[in-house]
C-alpha cells in the first residue's frame, strides 16, 4: 500500500513538474526576440506568405489556445511538426535519441569506471603532502574547463593527428559499429571529463566520510586486508551519494550534450535543439526541452529506487523519502 502511495505521489509530482516546464518553455520560446516568419521564411517573404505560415502552424491564435492545443497533442504522443523540415518532431527526436543515448552511456560508463576508482584511490591514499592535492587540482580543472573549450581543442588536435578517431563526422552504429565508435570516442571523452572529475570528488568525499566510521577502525583492528575493507565496508556505504550523482549526471548528459554534439557535428538531440533555437522552430524546442525534463524526472525516480536497494534505511518503503 505504501509503495502504491509512493508511486502515485511520484506520478503526480512528476506530472506537475512537466506541466510547469511545459508552461515555462512555451512562454519562453514565444518571448524570444526574432519572429518565426522572418526567420523561417526569410526577409523576402510577403505579408501574405507570413500569414499563411502562421495559420498553418496555428500561430495566429491566442497563446493560451496554442498552448492548449499543443498540450492535448503532446498528451496523445504528437509533438507537432518542425517548421523547417516539415517532418514530425517526435519521429526526428526518436531518430536522434540513439546518438545522444550512446554518447551518454559512453560518458557515464567512463565516469563510473574512471571516476569511482580515482576517488577511492585518492581517499584511501590521502595523507598530508600526498597525492590528494594533485588529485583535487586535476579534478578541479576537469570541472572548470568548459566543454566547448576542451571540445574545440580536441577537434583541432585530432583533425591534424587523427589516430584513427574521426572528428567532424558521424557514422551510424548499424552501418559500421567500429567506425561509429571511432566517431563517438572523442565527444564521449570530452563529455566525460566533467563527469569523471565530479564523480572522483564525490567518491573521495564519501569514502573519507566512511573511513572515520568505528566499523572501519574495528575492521582494521581485526587485521582485515585494506582491499577487503574497501570492498566490503567502504564501497557499499559510500555508494549512495555516488549512485545519486551518476544518475543526475546521466540525466544532465542526456539533456545537455548540446555543446559537444554541436562542436563534433553529431546528429543527436542536443544539436537538433541548438539549431531549432537558432531558427525559432518552436515545436522542436518545446519537445526537446520537455524530453530533457522527462529524462530528469525518470532518472530521479530510478535513483530513489536504486538507493533504496543499496541502503534499505533510505528506501521507498522505509518511509524516509517521499
Please give the residue ranges that form the binding site for other proteins (CB under 8 A).
Answer: 32-35, 38-46, 48-49, 53, 82-87, 92, 95, 117, 152, 155-156, 158-160, 162-169, 182, 262-265, 267, 271-272, 275, 278-280
Q: String of b and e for 285-319 (b: at least 16 CB within 10 Å)?
A: bbbbbbbbbbbbbebbbebbebbbebeeeebbeee
**Smallest gap from residue 68 Cβ to other proteins (A):** 24
Q: Which is nearer to other proteins, 200 or 251 (CB)?
A: 200
Q: Which is nearer to other proteins, 191 or 316 (CB)?
A: 191
Q: Which is nearer to other proteins, 238 or 316 (CB)?
A: 238
CB 183 within 8 A of CB 171: yes
Q: Which is nearer to other proteins, 82 or 244 (CB)?
A: 82
**Smallest gap from residue 2 Cβ to other proteins (A):** 43
**Smallest gap from residue 114 Cβ to other proteins (A):** 9
CB atoms within 10 A of CB 34: 10
Q: Which is nearer to other proteins, 1 or 227 (CB)?
A: 227
**In a 10 Å sphere around its CB, with 0-12 CB exposed, 13-18 middle and 19+ buried, how is residue 118 labelled?**
buried
**Smallest gap from residue 144 Cβ to other proteins (A):** 22
CB 277 within 8 A of CB 285: yes
* Nearby residues of 212 by Cβ (< 8 Å), 6 or more positions away: none
Q: Which is nearer to other proteins, 20 or 131 (CB)?
A: 131
**Smallest gap from residue 301 Cβ to other proteins (A):** 32
**Smallest gap from residue 319 Cβ to other proteins (A):** 40
- Residue 65: all three cell numbers together: 489556445
Q: How far is CA 112 from CA 132, 160, 172, in A?
A: 20, 30, 25
Q: Which is nearer to other proteins, 257 or 307 (CB)?
A: 257
Q: How far is CA 72 from CA 53, 153, 247, 261, in A?
A: 21, 45, 30, 31
Cα 151 from Cα 115, distance rounded (Å):
20
**Smallest gap from residue 162 Cβ to other proteins (A):** 4
Q: Which H helix or E strand runs over 232?
A: none
Amino acid at each position: 500500500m505504501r509503495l502504491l502511495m509512493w508511486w502515485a505521489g511520484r506520478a503526480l509530482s512528476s506530472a506537475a513538474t512537466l506541466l510547469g516546464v511545459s508552461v515555462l518553455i512555451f512562454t519562453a520560446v514565444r518571448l524570444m526576440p526574432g519572429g518565426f516568419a522572418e526567420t523561417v521564411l526569410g526577409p523576402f517573404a510577403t505579408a501574405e506568405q507570413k500569414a499563411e505560415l502562421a495559420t498553418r502552424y496555428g500561430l495566429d491564435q491566442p497563446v493560451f489556445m496554442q498552448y492548449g492545443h499543443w498540450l492535448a497533442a503532446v498528451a496523445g504522443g504528437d509533438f507537432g511538426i518542425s517548421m523547417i523540415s516539415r517532418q514530425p518532431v517526435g519521429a526526428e527526436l526518436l531518430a536522434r535519441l540513439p546518438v545522444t543515448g550512446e554518447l551518454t552511456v559512453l560518458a557515464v560508463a567512463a565516469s563510473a569506471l574512471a571516476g569511482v576508482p580515482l576517488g577511492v584511490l585518492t581517499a584511501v591514499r590521502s595523507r598530508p603532502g600526498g597525492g590528494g592535492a594533485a588529485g583535487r587540482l586535476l579534478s578541479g580543472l576537469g570541472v572548470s574547463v568548459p566543454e566547448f573549450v576542451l571540445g574545440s581543442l580536441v577537434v583541432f588536435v585530432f583533425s591534424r593527428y587523427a589516430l584513427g578517431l574521426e572528428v567532424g563526422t558521424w557514422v551510424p552504429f548499424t552501418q559500421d559499429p567500429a567506425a561509429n565508435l571511432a566517431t563517438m570516442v572523442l565527444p564521449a571523452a570530452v563529455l566525460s571529463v566533467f563527469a569523471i572529475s565530479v564523480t572522483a570528488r564525490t567518491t573521495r568525499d564519501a569514502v573519507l566520510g566512511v573511513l572515520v566510521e568505528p566499523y572501519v577502525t574495528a575492521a582494521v583492528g581485526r587485521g582485515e586486508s585494506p582491499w577487503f575493507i574497501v570492498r566490503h565496508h567502504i564501497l557499499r556505504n559510500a555508494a549512495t551519494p555516488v549512485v545519486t550523482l551518476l544518475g543526475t549526471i546521466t540525466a544532465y548528459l542526456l539533456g545537455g550534450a548540446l555543446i559537444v554534439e554541436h562542436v563534433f557535428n553529431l546528429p543527436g538531440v542536443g544539436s537538433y535543439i541548438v539549431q531549432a533555437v537558432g531558427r525559432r522552430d518552436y515545436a522542436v524546442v518545446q519537445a526537446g526541452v520537455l524530453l530533457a525534463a522527462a529524462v530528469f524526472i525518470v532518472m530521479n525516480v530510478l535513483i530513489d529506487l536504486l538507493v533504496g536497494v543499496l541502503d534499505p534505511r533510505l528506501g521507498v518503503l522505509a518511509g524516509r523519502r517521499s
